[in-house]
Amino acid sequence: MIETTPPFQSSYHQIETAQQRALRHAAIDADGEPAVAFSHSYETNQHIAEHQHARAQLLHLSSGVLSVTTGTGRWIMPRDHALWIPAGVRHAVDTVGRVDMHSVYVLPGAISGLPNQLQVSGITPLMRSLIDEAVQLRTNPGSERAKYILGAMLHEIPQLPQRPLGLAFPANRRLAQLCREFVATPSAHLEIDHWADAAGMSRRSFTRAFRRETGLSLSSWRQQACLMTALPRLSAGEPVTAVALDLGYDSVPAFTSMFSRVMGAPPKAYLRNQKAA
């Protein structure tokens, strides 16, 4: 295991440079521990080109919103959520606002039960504390305490509560193109017959194919697409009314009802809880 002297810890809440990122990745590749954690920050509206890691990566945000895009979908991670990216998955990253985060890099097969697909989770108080401690342990690697904390952190990963903030794209090229066009200009109004005609399918064939390839009905997929557009805007402080109307909802209560059904709380309460976390 190689020891890395900060900038990683000391640069938390300072923007990570490309050189510091390269040093972090080199340290990860050389580390023999089953899990290793770092803290780093990204500036507003920063794009990180498509890349992949030999280890799985668990991202945890303490501020900002992160968008992760792969060839099969898009995921949104608000503040105090976690995103699991399996090893070898090529992904690009975009920040919304200033992003301060932790990254935990996990060797494939470190323990049984780790997720095998990209997913967004809530973060538990225990996991938050374990990650904080794991970052601090970089100054004292290999101790018995470090082994216990890293082991507990690994076993907590499969227990994190999943959140519906992923948006799968179909493998079918015609369906995928329709989805990408919708994500570019999402709306609460979406006609199944229009999509079926554009895909060259009957309504029945389209609905079956869409559910088979995304795991969701078109209506549920549309709701998640609208939610993923709304979250970064709401997190940036935009009024609920403006976001709801821009997305084509007939009223703010209709948007609030959808948001509450999916996220478990209305927009203002959800954002207030995130800030208090």
> Is 173 found in the same domain as 111?
no
> Is 193 found in the same domain as 158?
no
> Is 151 found in the same domain as 50?
yes
Q: Tell me if 5 is assigned to some domain.
A: no
Please list, in sequence order, all residues whose beta carbon lies within 8 angstroms of the beta carbon of residue 253, skipping any fewer than 6 positions away: none
> Is 22 found in the same domain as 130?
yes
> Is 230 found in the same domain as 136?
no
Q: Tell me if 3 is assigned to some domain.
A: no
Q: Give this prediction's pTM.
A: 0.74
CA 187 – CA 21 distance, rounded (Å) = 37
> Is 22 found in the same domain as 159?
yes
* Domain's final residue, options 114, 133, 163: 163
C-alpha angle with apex 179: 103 to 158, nearest 5 degrees?
Answer: 30
The region of weakest confidence among 16-30, 189-203, 214-228, 256-270 is 16-30
Give the pLDDT of residue 276. Answer: 56
Give the pLDDT of residue 80. Answer: 79
> Is 106 found in the same domain as 183?
no
Residue 7 in this model has a pLDDT that exceeds 90: no
- The domain of 58 spans 18-163
* Domain's final residue, options 163, 189, 213: 163
Write the pLDDT tens digit of every residue in 153-172. 999 999 998 887 888 888 88
Residue 8 in this model has a pLDDT that exceeds 90: no
Write the pLDDT tens digit of every residue in 105-136. 999 989 999 999 899 898 899 999 999 999 88
The region of weakest confidence among 4-8, 114-118, 201-205 is 4-8
Domain with residue 178: its CATH number is 1.10.10.60
Residue type, 36: V
Domain with residue 118: its CATH number is 2.60.120.810
> Is 130 found in the same domain as 31?
yes
> Is 158 found in the same domain as 202?
no
Residue 1 in this model has a pLDDT that exceeds 60: no
Task: Give yes or no for a contact between 82 and 60, defined as CB atoms under 8 angstroms apart.
Answer: yes
Residue type, 106: V
Give the pLDDT of residue 275. Answer: 61
Q: Tell me if 24 is assigned to some domain.
A: yes
DSSP 15: B
Q: Tell me if 61 is assigned to some domain.
A: yes
Which range scores top for mean pLDDT: 32-36, 74-78, 135-139, 204-208? 204-208
> Is 187 found in the same domain as 135?
no
> Is 193 found in the same domain as 136?
no
Please list, in sequence order, all residues whose beta carbon lies within 8 angstroms of the beta carbon of residue 150, skipping any fewer than 6 positions away: 33, 34, 35, 134, 137
Write the pLDDT tens digit of every residue in 26-76. 777 777 789 988 888 888 888 888 989 999 999 998 888 888 988 888 888
pLDDT grade for 274, boundaries at 50, 70 and 90: low
Q: Tell me if 173 is assigned to some domain.
A: yes
Number of separate domains in the chain: 2
- The widest CA-to-CA distance across the chain, in whole angstroms, is 62
* Domain's final residue, options 119, 142, 163: 163
